[in-house]
Amino acid sequence: MCFNGNCASRELAQSVYDRLVQLTEEHHLNDFESPTSLKCKLAGCLNICVNGPTLIVHPDRVWYHRVDLAAAERIFYEHLLANQPVTEYVHPLTHTSRPPGGSA
Ligand code: FES
Query: Ligand 1 centre from 102 Cα, in Å?
Result: 7
Quote the Cα angle for 35-41-43, to 5°: 150
Over residues 43-65, mean pLDDT: 94
pLDDT band at 36 (very low <50, low <70, confident <90, very high): confident
Residue of higher predicted confidence among 75 and 96: 75
Over residues 21-34, mean pLDDT: 90
Residues 15 and 36: their CA atoms lie apart, in Å, by: 24
Residues 30 and 101: their CA atoms lie apart, in Å, by: 33
Residue type, 42: L
Cβ pair 52, 41 in contact under 8 A = no
Q: Which residues line ligand 1 at a C-beta cut-off of 6 Å?
A: 2, 4, 6-7, 45-49, 52, 54, 102
In the chain the domains, ranked by start, together with CATH numbers, are 10-89 (3.40.30.10)
Q: Is the dihedral of CA 50, 55, 61, 63 positive or negative?
A: negative
| pLDDT (0 to 100) of residue 31 | 83
Among 2, 11, 55, the mutation site with the greatest number of ligand 1 atoms within 8 A of its Cβ is 2
Query: Looking at the predicted structure, is the pLDDT value of residue 103 above 50?
Result: no
| pLDDT (0 to 100) of residue 104 | 40
pTM for the full predicted model: 0.87
Over residues 28-49, mean pLDDT: 88
Alpha-carbon distances of 95 from 41, 50, 63, rounded to whole Å: 21, 18, 8
Query: Ligand 1 centre from 103 Cα, in Å?
Result: 8
